[in-house]
Amino acid sequence: MKRIGVVLLFALLCAIIYAREFRSIEEIRKSGVLRILQTEDYWYPFYYLDSDGNLSGIDIELGRHIASQLGVEAEFIRTASGHETLAENLRTGEGDIILSYYSYSPRRASQIFLSRAYLTERLSVLVNTQLFEEIKKNDPEMSVEEAFETLNRPVVSIMTVADTVYESLAEQYFPNARVTAVDSTEEASRRLVQRTEEAFFLNNLWTESFLVRNTSLLLHYSLYLLPNEDQIVIGVSQNNPELLEWINRFLSSEYNRTKEFVSKYIDFDLVSKLYDPVDKKEEILLVGDPYRWIILALLIVFSIVVVHNSQNKLRRNNSPENIPHWLLNIWTILFSMVLGFYVGGAFPEIIDFLSPIGTLFFNYLLFCGLPILFCVVTLNFLKLIERSDGARFIKRFAMVIIFFFVIGAAIGLLTALVLKPGVGIPTEAQEALVSSMRETDPYEEVDLSAGSIIWALPSNMIGNSVVKAFSENRTLTIVFFSIIFAFAVRYIQSSKRTGIVNSVETINDAFLFLFRLSYYVLPIGIFSLMLGQASIFIRDTEVLIALVMLIVCEIVCFIIWFFIGTFLGARKASLSPKKYLGVIKKPMMLLFALLSSVAVIPEAVKTCEKSENFNDENQKGVIPLLLVMFQPQTVSLFVVVAIFNMQLLGKSLNAGDYLYIMFSSIIAVFASIGVPSPLDLFTISMVVLPFNIPPAQVIFFLLPWMYTGRRLDTLAMVTNDFAVVQFFRKKQTKTSDYEAL
C-alpha cells in the first residue's frame, strides 16, 4: 500500500511539473523570445539552410513574423529527431509552439492543441510513369482512381518519410503494398533522383517544389493528387489555450502573410506546368503578322534560287549520272531544316497537323534500316572471320578499334565537361524541353543503380526474342544476333553458306532500295521533325545559345581528331604532315564530296597501291574495313551530344553515369557501322534511353551537325583511317620521297 502511494505521489508531481511546462503570452513577451520547435532534418522549402548558411523558408519567415507580432524575437529549436517527437518536446516545455511543416492528425490533436490550418494542401503520389503505363496497359479506359487501387499490391513499393503522419497514412491507404519509410527528405530526394522508386507518397506542396527543382524527373515520374486534404497547422501546449486563441486570431487576420511567404519560395507558374505543360492560349510567335508571311515567301524564293543555281553548277561539272536529284541537294536539306524551324516558330497552329509526318518519316527509316543493320553487320563480320589468320587478325583489329574508340569517348567527355554547352539553361526552358519529351511514347528504362550498371550491357544485348528485338528497335540485341549468326554461318557446309550469304546480300540490297526511296521525302521529313522543336528555342534564347555551343564542341572534337590523324599518320608513314595529307588527298576529298565511305573504298585501295608508304597487302585489305568501321570521331560526337542533353535538362551525373555514357557510346557506334545516314544516328538511343530521354530529341540536336559539319568529320575520318592502317603493316617498306605525287 505504501508503494502504491509513492507511485501516485510521483505521478501527481509529474503532472504538476508538466502542467507548468508552458509560458503564457505575458511570460513570452517578458523573456523577449518565442521558442519555436522544429525537426533537426531540413524540409525544403519550409526550413533549410540557404547558400549563405542561414535558416530560410516558409516556416522560418512565418515564425519570425508571428514573433514580431508578439514583440519578441524568434528562436528556432531544432532538436527533435522527427515530427512524431515534437509533441512530447512541446509538452516537456522545450518550446512554446511547433511550427515545422506539421500536419494535422487525430492522434496529434489528442496530445496537444492544434491551430487552424495556415496551409491546406492535398495528399499526392508520385508514380513511376513506366509502372503506371503497365498498370493501364491491360485496361486503357481505367480511371486514375482505379489505377491507384492497383498500387495497393504486395509487389508495389511505395516510399514515404519516416516519423511523419505520411508514414501512417501510406500504411492506411495502401495496406497491401510494401511501404518503405526513409529517414529524411534528403534521402527521399536522393532516391528519387536516382530513379529507383516505384511510387512516393507525401503532400503535393513538397513534391511540387521538388519537381520544379528537378524538372528532368518529369520524364520518369507522373504526379497525381488524391482527394484527401493535408492541413498544415501550428502546435500549442494543451495548458496554453490563451496562446492558441491568439495564434488562431492572427492566422485569420489581415496580418497573416503566409501566402506571401509561400509565393516567395514556390513558383506556382512552374508548378502549374507540372499538370498542364502546354498552354495553347499563350503560344509565342517568332514573328507576327504580316511579317511572318513575307519572311516565309522570301525564304522559299531564296531557297529555290540557291538550289537551282547549285543544280546548274553540278550539271556543268559532272556527268549526268553523277548529278543528284534536286531533292537530295545539300542546299535542299539545309533549307528544309531552316524552313521547318521558322514555320514551327512563326506558324505554331500547323504543328499538330504537320509534325506527324516527321514521325511517319522516322518510323519508315527504322522499318527499312533495322534489317539493313542486321545484314551489314552479318556480312562484315563474316568476312573478318573467314580470313586465314582470322582469329589473330580479329584480336588485333578489335584492340586497335577499341583503343581509339576509348580515346574518342574520353575526348568527347572532356570537351563536354570543359565547355559545358548545356549548362546554365533557365528552369523554365528545362521544363519546356521536358514537356516536349513527355509528348513522345514512353520508353522502357534501364536500371542505372550501382550493381546493375555492370550487367546493363549484356542484359540489353542478349534478348529473349529476335522478333521482339526488331519490333522494339533494340539495336544492340540486333547487333549481337548478327554477330552470332555470322559465326553460325561460318561453320556450316560451304555450299549452304554461299546460299545464305547470297540471301542476306539480296535482302540487304532490297531494303537498301526501299531505304533510298526515303531520300526523296528527306526534306519533307526533316522539315516536319524540326516543326515541333522551334517553340522550345523561341521561348528562351538560352537554349538556342546552347545549341550554338554544342556545335562549337563538335568543331573542337573535329579539330582534335584531324590533328591526331594527321600527325600520327605522318609519323607512322615517315612523312611530313603536308606530304601525308598530299598522299591521301584524293580519297579524302572524294569522301568529303560524297559522304559515302563505301564509294571511297576503290580510290582508297588505289592510293595504297600507288604509295610505297601504304603498299602492303595487309594495309590494302584493312583500309576498306577501317573506312567502314573506324569512327572514333563519331564516338566523341555521341558522348558530347548525350552529355549536352543531360546538362540541358539539369540532370545530375555521377562517375558511373559518365562511364556508362562513354561505354554505351562506343557500343552505339559499333552498332551504326555500315548503316545508311541518317539511320545510323538512331543507335544513340542505347546511350540516352537509360536516362529516359527520347532518341528523337537527341537526334534533333545531331541533325544540324549531320547536314553541315559532318563533311568536316569526313576529313578527320580519312586522316585517321590512313594513320591507323599503319598498325597493320606486314613489314616495314623502304621509305621513299613522295613529292612526285
> Which pLDDT score, from 0 to 100, does residue 739 have?
37
Sign of CA dihedral 412, 414, 415, 417: positive
Could you tell me what percent of the chain has a pLDDT over 90?
20
Q: Is 613 helix (H, G, I), strand (E, B) or coil?
A: coil
Q: What is the pLDDT of residues 120-173, one digit of tens each?
A: 998 888 888 767 766 666 665 666 666 677 788 888 889 999 989 999 999 888
Residue type at 434 in one-letter notation? V
Q: Is the pLDDT of residue 730 over 70?
A: no
Residue type at 394 in one-letter notation? I
**Domain 120-230+270-282, CATH among 3.40.50.20, 3.40.50.300, 3.40.190.10, 3.50.50.60:** 3.40.190.10
Q: Is 447 helix (H, G, I), strand (E, B) or coil?
A: coil
> Which pLDDT score, from 0 to 100, does residue 621 have?
62
Better-predicted residue by pLDDT, 34 or 280: 34
Instruction: Calculate mean pLDDT across residues 325-346.
Output: 78
pTM of the model: 0.53
What does the DSSP assignment read for 198-228?
SEEEEEHHHHHHHHHH-GGGGGTEEEEEEEE
Start and end residues for every CATH 1.10.3860 domain found in the chain: 306-445+459-728
- CA 208, CA 227: separation in Å to the nearest integer? 16
- CA 665, CA 684: separation in Å to the nearest integer? 7
Compute CA distances 582 → 396, 457, 559, 607, whole Å.
28, 42, 18, 11
Q: Is the pLDDT of residue 251 over 80?
A: yes
Question: Lowest mean pLDDT: which of 183-187, 365-369, 596-600, 649-653?
Answer: 596-600
Q: What is the pLDDT of residues 664-718, one digit of tens each?
A: 888 888 767 655 555 566 677 778 877 767 666 677 677 666 655 665 676 777 7
C-alpha grid cell, residue 320:
549526268
> According to the per-residue pLDDT averaged within each range, which of 193-207, 298-312, 510-524, 538-552 is highest?
298-312
Tell me the H-state helices in 75-230.
86-91, 106-111, 129-137, 144-149, 165-173, 185-193, 204-213
> Which pLDDT score, from 0 to 100, does residue 450 have?
37
Per-position b or e across 125-159, b if 16+ CB within 10 A of its CB:
bbbbbbbbeebbeeeeeeeeeebbebbeeeebbbb
Phi, then psi, of 157 in degrees rounded to 5:
-105, 130
What are 29's strand-pairing partners? none
Question: Lowest mean pLDDT: which of 107-116, 216-225, 499-508?
Answer: 216-225
- CA 675, CA 53: separation in Å to the nearest integer? 55
- CA 55, CA 618: separation in Å to the nearest integer? 71
- CA 182, CA 162: separation in Å to the nearest integer? 5
Start and end residues for every CATH 3.40.190.10 domain found in the chain: 120-230+270-282
Q: Quick check: bond before 290 cis, omega within 30?
A: yes
Better-predicted residue by pLDDT, 32 or 603: 32
| Residue 735 binned pLDDT confidence (cut-offs 50, 70, 90) | very low
Ramachandran region, residue 32 (left: φ > 0; alpha: ψ -120 to 50; beta: rest): left
Instruction: Calculate mean pLDDT across residues 454-458.
Output: 51
- CA 491, CA 406: separation in Å to the nearest integer? 32
- CA 71, CA 351: separation in Å to the nearest integer? 60
Better-predicted residue by pLDDT, 413 or 549: 413
Better-predicted residue by pLDDT, 404 or 730: 404
Instruction: Calculate mean pLDDT across residues 198-225.
Output: 83
Q: What is the chain's alpha carbon radius of gyration, rounded to the nearest angstrom?
A: 33
Better-predicted residue by pLDDT, 193 or 570: 570
Better-predicted residue by pLDDT, 392 or 513: 513
306-445+459-728: what fold? Proton glutamate symport protein (1.10.3860)
- CA 28, CA 514: separation in Å to the nearest integer? 84
Place of cell 536522393: 190
Helix 632-648 vs helix 390-419: crossing angle, to nearest 10: 40
